Amino acid sequence: MAVMGSLKLPVLLLPHPLILLPTARLTLPISRSIADAILSLLDDSDAVLAAIPLPAPDSPSEVTYGTAARIARLVRPRNQSSPTQPYLLSLHGIERIHFPSPIQIHQLMDILPVHNVVYPSSEGIPSRDTVEAFKHAALVLLDRLARDSPQPQRKDDWLRVAAIVEGISEQRAAWMADVLVAAVSPQYPDRLAFLAATDVEDRLHRATELFIKQSSIQEVSKKIASAVDESFSRQQKEYFLRQQLAAIQRELQSLQNFPASVGPGFGTGGSTSELDDDDQADADDLADLRRKIEALDVGSEERKVGIREWRRLKRIPQGSVENGVIRSYLEWLTSVPWPSNSTTTSLDVLKDHGFLTRARAQLDADHYGLDQIKRRLMEYLAVVRLRALADAGQTQAQGDTPSTDTSLGTMPTPPMKSKGVKGPILLFVGPPGTGKTSLGQSIAKALGRPFQRISLGGVRDEAEIRGHRRTYVASGPGSIVQALRKAGRNDPVILLDEVDKVGHSNFHGDPAAALLEVLDPEQNHSFNDHYINVPIDLSQVLFICTSNTLDTISAPLLDRCEVVELSGYTYDEKMHIAKRFLLPKQICANGLSDSQLTLTDDALLHVATMYTREAGVRSLERAIGAVVRFKAVEWAEWLDKGNGAVGGEGTAKQNENGNEKQDGNANENAVGKEWRAAVEPHELEKILGIPRWDGEERDREEKRGVVYGLVVTGMGEGGILPVESTALPGTGRLKLTGSLGDVIKESGEIALSWVKTHAFELGITAGRGVDPLKVPDVIDVHLHLPAGAQKKDGPSAGIAMICAFVSLLSGACVPKDIAMTGEITLRGRVTPVGGIRMKVLGAHRAQIRKVILPWANRKDVEHDVALEVRREMQFVFVRTIDEALEAAFGRGALGWRKETILLESRL
């Protein structure tokens, strides 16, 4: 380092973080003693002193570099507020100085001490590359400062400095670096390092780095400031508009309070609406929300989540979108019936000795029959009652136990919390109209629980069951949580309707798979809804599923359910249902009274047998409704003719001969025939038209090659189906028609093969091994099942096909009141089939008197078929085809040539 010269200068310590750079100007307050010392310097010398910066508290306390400064001004302002520093000193930086020996801070406690200083040499020319880099960095910074400057005068100053920098020479570059660094005022460490740079080349490098750094800081600061200003501007605008809206609403409300002063057509009569956007109502909602969160169990997961979201809600501005999202979530979270805020069945109700009796009476009052379902529900209610009584006894025993002395170090045992009885998962399977949905309502009424219905028909999105995640726009909880919120309790009865019609797996997910967790008693105690995202206990919920068929339900879902079949109603059950429920309901719905319309038992039976043919009672209710409406029209016309009271309050009573006459408030001047309230069977054709199924019942006849089988339709309804066969010239082949599936076609081929094999024993052929389709004439056999538009499949028509072939080839006929079902094998065995209850009820509706069934289905008849049906029909259970033929054609009707004995080996 070249030295220009050395001398002694008084030293002034600048307070932290002030630094005086060469070419810069600095003004600072000083005390009276320092001002007196400076005044003495002004008299004795050239008024130059050494200004050195005070080191930072965490840096070394010695000083090496400073700035030679000329005293520009020393004044005492009149409005100076500091009594300890009443003077202002202005210094102008001249040149860098260096102290040969470092100065310690404690050496500067005296007033302007004198120390030796050295002026470093400022000679030297920097390289062209260094100067160009310095100019580029300086111009970039100056351009950024000019663009960001809010004052036009300041912007012009930066632009003039930029013009000077562009034309600066290499000799003057170091001087310009001092000027610019002092102007932009970088951070204290950077300015201190720049002050210590005595070499010209090093000084320009440091200035270039400072300018680049300052440009980046300026750019980032500008972006942050713009974003903050934009956010503040938007919030201020929204706040201003909301305040204007509130003021307008207040003015409108004040106008509504004085409707007379504004003329007709304005105001609402002075009454305030609950839809008014009142700030107090919003505050009350928030306070209620807070009380609900505080009411949750301490330490529970739902309380932790609620508190966390509440704190987020208070930090977010009220008008923001996120505020509404969090508030909606908290409303859903607090509305779910958690164990802390949910009520269950009262213990006093369960302790009542008449609890089970009332429940059974409620079920009997709402539904006729259905003994199997009622028995299962009574089992569940008995278990609930016994479990509640046991838990109450255990709690009382714990309360009577004396408390343990805690001084011995043993803590008292807390009372155990009852987990309740897990609700069964019932699956009602049956055809439409059999009362599956209404049975769920009756169960809820008998249990004293709220009832909620969830329709799953057509549901194809998993989120409809488990909810949408909160990351989606307009997300919400699933149907399970919504049902719980509406119920207000954690043990409602939830009906999952049409579970067989739920959508299958697609790009939206698999709704049936989402139901696995809901309907699993081992998992649903911690059901996780995607929106709530807190485990919800569903173990106390009684789930009831309804379905028309089991074919479309997945095996894992079916395994979790307790299947209860509702096959259909008998005619006797339909009569009871019609008299107890359907007819009173239609009479009330059409404005009549019981005395104004009566349907005789014969008329009801005629409607059920001739105008409806279904397993349920919906068509029966529609037919009864048509009869009631017809009589309602007659009653209204009868009243209009002056035959009754004005209000229609006249009543019809029967006289001794059984005829009905008008009595009560009838008009004394009434002239005309008396009102007939009864509807007879012969009047139904005029009301309902020609019977729909009358022809099928009457046209059944005994004919060669025709046998009646039992079938189950796609909706679970049972019925009879004729199996027709005929012979025609051909090549000895079998032709099957009637929209038949592969299985039923195979049954037809098996039946013909068995008949061919046993043709000699049946007396069809004259010798063994003779094909009855080729001897004596070559013929084809055509087997047809009517209703060709309906798909048919299954093995249960095997017996009927064999009987049809035997009847066709032997000439014997099967009586028309006999129907049959059963699968056959080539060995001559008759194996069991399904749908026995539906088939038997269908045969009963079709007035079949004798039914042939497999022996293995005997238990199904005894268990599922009502006793009154079994009394009206004859059941023949067969093990072999020979027994089936004998039961169908009668003993001795077929000319058997050989008695076939079937031996069975059993280990």
What does the pLDDT look like over 531-560, one tens digit per residue? 988 998 888 888 899 988 888 888 888 888
Question: Which conformational region is residue 549 in: left (phi greater than 0), alpha (psi within -120 to 50 degrees), or beta?
Answer: beta
Cα(877)–Cα(854) distance, rounded to whole angstroms?
A: 5
Position 2 scores a pLDDT of: 44
**What integer is the mean pLDDT of 718-734?**
90
Digit-coded pLDDT (tens) for 403-445: 444 333 344 444 444 455 666 788 888 888 888 888 888 888 8
Cα(775)–Cα(112) distance, rounded to whole angstroms?
A: 146
Cα(692)–Cα(713) distance, rounded to whole angstroms?
A: 18
**Closest CA relative to residue 102, chosen from 60, 70, 67, 68:** 60
DSSP letter at 594?
A: G
Q: Is-contact 713 568, C-beta < 8 A?
A: no
Q: Is-contact 204 126, C-beta < 8 A?
A: yes
Q: In the numeric block, which tokens belong to residue 552?
A: 């479309």
The one catalytic residue in 796, 807, 810, 816 is 796
Helix residue spans in 401-498 (DSSP H): 436-447, 463-466, 479-487
**What integer is the mean pLDDT of 580-591?**
90
The alpha carbon of residue 1 and the mean position of all alpha carbons in its chain are separated, in whole angstroms, by 80
Q: In the numeric block, which tokens belong to residue 716?
A: 């679970």
**Closest CA relative to residue 183, chosen from 12, 13, 15, 26:** 26
**What integer is the mean pLDDT of 738-749?**
92
> At 853, is the secondary structure helix, strand, or coil?
strand
Q: In the numeric block, which tokens belong to residue 856?
A: 């293995």
**What integer is the mean pLDDT of 219-241?**
70
**Closest CA relative to residue 47, chosen from 29, 23, 74, 20:** 74
The alpha carbon of residue 327 and the mean position of all alpha carbons in its chain are separated, in whole angstroms, by 18
Cα(733)–Cα(750) distance, rounded to whole angstroms?
A: 13
For the chain, percent of residues with pLDDT exceeding 90:
15
Q: In the numeric block, which tokens belong to residue 520?
A: 């699993």
Who wins on pLDDT, 373 or 795? 795
Digit-coded pLDDT (tens) for 607-664: 888 888 777 888 889 999 999 999 999 898 888 887 655 444 444 444 434 444 444 3
Q: In the numeric block, which tokens belong to residue 749?
A: 């081929």
Who wins on pLDDT, 783 or 31? 783
**What integer is the mean pLDDT of 778-792?**
88
Digit-coded pLDDT (tens) for 139-157: 888 888 887 777 788 778 8
Q: pLDDT confidence of 267, banded at 50, 70, 90?
A: very low
97: Cβ contacts below 8 Å, ≥ 6 apart? 9, 50, 65, 66, 67, 68, 117, 118, 119, 120
Stretch (H or E) spanning 11 = strand 3-14
Digit-coded pLDDT (tens) for 652-706: 444 434 444 444 343 333 344 688 888 888 888 888 888 876 555 556 788 899 9
Q: Which residues pair with 651 in a beta bridge?
A: 663
Cα(764)–Cα(297) distance, rounded to whole angstroms?
A: 84
Cα(273)–Cα(271) distance, rounded to whole angstroms?
A: 6
* Residue length of the chain: 907
Residue in this structure with the two tokens 């060709």, named with its chain if needed: 788
Residue 304 is a catalytic residue: no
Q: Is-contact 616 433, C-beta < 8 A?
A: yes
Cα(505)–Cα(256) distance, rounded to whole angstroms?
A: 56
**What integer is the mean pLDDT of 203-225?**
80
Count other C-beta atoms under 10 Å from residue 226's C-beta.
10
Position 107 scores a pLDDT of: 59
**Closest CA relative to residue 497, chosen from 445, 443, 555, 429:** 429
Digit-coded pLDDT (tens) for 358-385: 888 888 888 887 777 888 888 888 887 8
Who wins on pLDDT, 193 or 485? 485
Q: In the numeric block, which tokens belong to residue 43?
A: 């008299």
Position 514 scores a pLDDT of: 83
Q: Which of 248-252, 401-405, 550-554, 591-595 has the lowest mean pLDDT?
A: 401-405
Residue 839 is a catalytic residue: yes
DSSP of 153-205: HHHHHHHHHHHHHHT--STTHHHHHHHHHHHH---HHHHHHHHT--SHHHHHH
111: Cβ contacts below 8 Å, ≥ 6 apart? 33, 34, 37
Q: Is-contact 875 853, C-beta < 8 A?
A: yes
> At 438, is the secondary structure helix, strand, or coil?
helix
Digit-coded pLDDT (tens) for 810-839: 888 999 899 999 999 999 999 999 888 888
Position 670 scores a pLDDT of: 38
Who wins on pLDDT, 125 or 902? 125
Helix, strand, coil % in the chain, rounded to nearest 5: 45, 15, 40
Q: In the predicted model, is pLDDT for residue 189 greater than 90?
A: no
Q: Is-contact 610 696, C-beta < 8 A?
A: no
Cα(824)–Cα(881) distance, rounded to whole angstroms?
A: 7
